[in-house]
Amino acid sequence: MLSNPINSAFDDRLPLYARLRDQLASRIAKGEWAPGDMIPSENRLAEEYGVAVATMRMALKQLSEEGLLERRRGTGTFVKRPAFRADLFRFFHVMDMEGNDQPMIPESRIISCEITEAPADVLAAFGDPAKSPCIRLERIRLWSGEPLLFEELYLRLPDFNGLEKINFKTSGPLLYPVFLDQFGILISSATDELSFGLATDQSAKYLELPQGSSVAVIQRLARNPIGRVIEFRRAHGRPERFRYRVTLGEQPN
């Protein structure tokens, strides 16, 4: 009997290697293998699932290309440690007052953290059909002491039970390392959407803008390795501190 047969919950219309990829990603997402851990060899995994080694190799290759695994020649395959750096601001590079891009992480200040009922748009993003509570965070990001972003973050419960008790003053400027270290939740991908709108009373207050001012609006959906939406975030930013840049075509290595 196989110790870990292919789970029928994964879409059987997908190629076998893709279903293996999804099942292995699910095990990573559930914390069976933590960042930095070496996973079993492809031969052992192939035996565990009852598949050809070549098929398992394709699944592991896909996970490596997606940034979840890291192959080290002569050593093995490891769950990749997330790089929580300034590149989390993929589309929004901090710009100093002279207009120069700065590869730095803005200061973070948590204003509030509470349990509340999830708004309709958050429930829709989470894919939850019924009303349910969630964690709501308010955060201000500052650059050289000046307000840059006002953020509202919504996080699933019970995934983040106890988050409201954390002392954020000692946790550093980024939240994703806290999610991983304290709750075993790895954020592996995010989708950011930029638009423009009007400041709310709350965002105008913390961004030090007149009420009704125009702001950049950045909405983020952050996902774990199996694509489950973990975080819904909406940020308002001072529009003069944002610019959009896109590069088309292949870039030289």
pLDDT recorded at residue 246: 54
227 in any annotated domain: yes
Give the Cα-Cα-Cα angle 35, 39, 41 (nearest 5 degrees): 155
Q: Give the contacts of 211 (CB within 8 A, at least 6 positions apart).
A: 199, 201, 204
pLDDT recorded at residue 221: 93
CB 154 within 8 A of CB 231: yes
CB 201 within 8 A of CB 191: no
pLDDT recorded at residue 229: 93
Q: Are β-strands 146-156 and 189-198 bridged in parallel, bridged antiparallel, or unpaired?
A: unpaired
93 forms beta bridges with: none
The per-residue pLDDT for range 154-194, each reduced to its tens digit, is 999 999 999 988 888 777 778 888 888 888 888 888 888 98
Residues 149 and 211 in one domain: yes
Residues 43 and 126 in one domain: no
Task: Reply yes or no on whether the pLDDT at 101 is more than 60.
Answer: no
pLDDT recorded at residue 244: 60
Residues 98 and 175 in one domain: yes
Residues 167 and 217 in one domain: yes
Residues 73 and 97 in one domain: no
Residues 62 and 167 in one domain: no
Q: What is the CATH number of the domain that holds 230?
A: 3.40.1410.10
Entry pTM? 0.71
